[in-house]
Structure 1
Amino acid sequence: MERVFNFNAGPATLPLAVLEEAQRELLNYKGTGMSVMEISHRSKEYEAINNEAEANMKELLGLGSNYRVLFLQGGASTQFAMVPMNFLGAGQKADYILTGSWSEKALKEAQKIGQTHVAATTQEGNYVRIPKADEIQLSEAPAYIHLTSNNTIFGTQWQSFPDFGDIPLIADMSSDILCKPFDANKFALIYAGAQKNLGPSGVTVVIIRQDMIEKASTKLPSMLRYDIHAKNNSLYNTPPSFSVYMVNLVLCWLKAQGGLAAMEKHNLEKAALIYDVIDSSNGFYKGHADKDSRSIMNITFRLLNEDLEKAFASEATKAGLIGLKGHRSVGGMRASIYNAMSREGCQALADFMKEFMRKNG
């Protein structure tokens, strides 16, 4: 079977080895005579998957017993509301750093719950960069600070994270979690929809510090309470069991690749193949993001005109390079090169870009 190079922003490409392992186990998981999709979420076999996935995530991030990993549903979009519902109390204010569409959406949901403050924004200029540290102006005693670590639409990424001391720092890391080492202990809560860099759609990973679980609101419906999900080991209701199983396979694959340091090296090399073509094209290709804010997960660029962009997308698809059309907010092209995208795929795109420029430049 011939596979294409899938540059879609999400749901996105998965490691071939993971897909093959899931294929081998699809009909009979570890001698149960059933698929993972069929076994009870109360069975010892599924609880082992759930527990191993939590342990693997904490190991990769270097987190101790003061953190829990929850496997929830509803995507990052539900977390946009769930975070302020649990942690933004009456008379409090939450600070948001805006770097793109997803942080805007997170802010919009929080505004429905309580008071908010925009601590920094790079909206002027259409989000071509991440704010500098001296541009971040916090409100007085915020309940928490929220940021989005990587911006799929605009192709920008935090190169390092600010430190706000004892103020809880919360991050949406849906599109770049586990792409490189970082100090996860800086964060009170991290959430990520799995379908970009962790696994298939259907499960949302929430990494939450124990003190945040203890201060979460107890007045919410049960499905919106972090403490309920933590107490029940993510098994309060029927979980997205196959998606959690797939996430665990991806986590095992990451460990086998050498962990986050090895993954960062891999991702930097892949991204350089494409960015080097953009930078050496004499303006034929123009990157959207400022160089010091560039993402190693989502590479956004435009061509000289829209006719060329349409031709580029069409010819790329015929060449087996799928999902390169950019988001309407930016236009042009977007290559999503998450952990599972191979160096071979990025080299194929770089070669295609060079040849397209040769024919049309």
Structure 2
Amino acid sequence: MNARRRAGIASLLSLHGCLVWSFPAFAQTAPATPPASVTEESMSDAWWTGPMLANSAETLPPGHFLFEPYLYDVRSPNTDSFGSRTYILYGLANRLSVGLIPVFGYNRLGNGPSSSSVGVGDITLQAQYRLTEFQPGKWIPTTAIQLQETLPTGKYDQLGDRPADGLGSGTYTTTLAINSQMYFWLPNGRILRMRFDVSEAFSNHARVQGVSVYGTGQNFQGNVKPGNASFADLSFEYSLTERWVLALDATYSHDANTLTAGEQLVDPAGAIPYPQNMRLNSGSSSAFGLAPAVEYNWSSAIGVLLGTRVTFGGHHSVDTVTPAVAVNYVY
């Protein structure tokens, strides 16, 4: 493990620990019990689908499945990136869930050719181990460590005259996350559920040929090394009634510089008479985001979410608006 990766993991653990454990201390300044005229909502009477973005710190009971498909449209200037992302998780053992996350997409461009068809993106394998479990009346949140490995199954280079066909990264990416979840009873007796997740992603090198998602041209040959990607998500869900929930995610993301290096080969048309060395640096980027959503639950096992993610105020990033719908089913 190199120094940059060790530093990233250390920062991840430090940030998560400081913020998670500060919330219980703050919450203890409020009354421990509601007024006598207020009835506390029980945890079994509060049904959830989960917010739009923050992962749960819970794990599935052994032998149970979770199926949660998302449909979305990432809207940016002159582009609509339609996609689906489906969480398929299984309770493998006590405290341990495993699963996979397939992704499909289609890019519609306003200033060039759109994707030739719906394509497969990069598929992610996931394992999550629960460390602690929240208990009413105590200030220890549910916490879990999550490990993801993203496989380069999506098309990313040799795109020819269809750059919009690029739906992958071409790299194997390892993501380490710390997830946490806490419950608070408000003065009116209703439950406020809070999640705080932080993650760090590390990608390896990939070979790049021709037109690619990294901005290379038709006659390029070389390699790409994406920078580390950090992500933090603080979410709140308010149990309005047993079936209805209001949710909000607040996010921050930071991507380090991506380096693409190689040669622009001879152009048969004579525009480039001899190979030229090329180095492309994306520069680092960062962005903030908000994702308000509404959840409706038919039962404790199935519910639907409608929400919109908005990213803004970024450095070297594009503002986006992403409406989404998801169904959460556990059995």
Normalised-by-shorter TM-score class = under 0.3
TM-score, scaled relative to structure 2: 0.23
Rg larger in structure: 2
TM-score, scaled relative to structure 1: 0.22
From the two aligned structures, give the one with the greater helix fraction.
Answer: 1
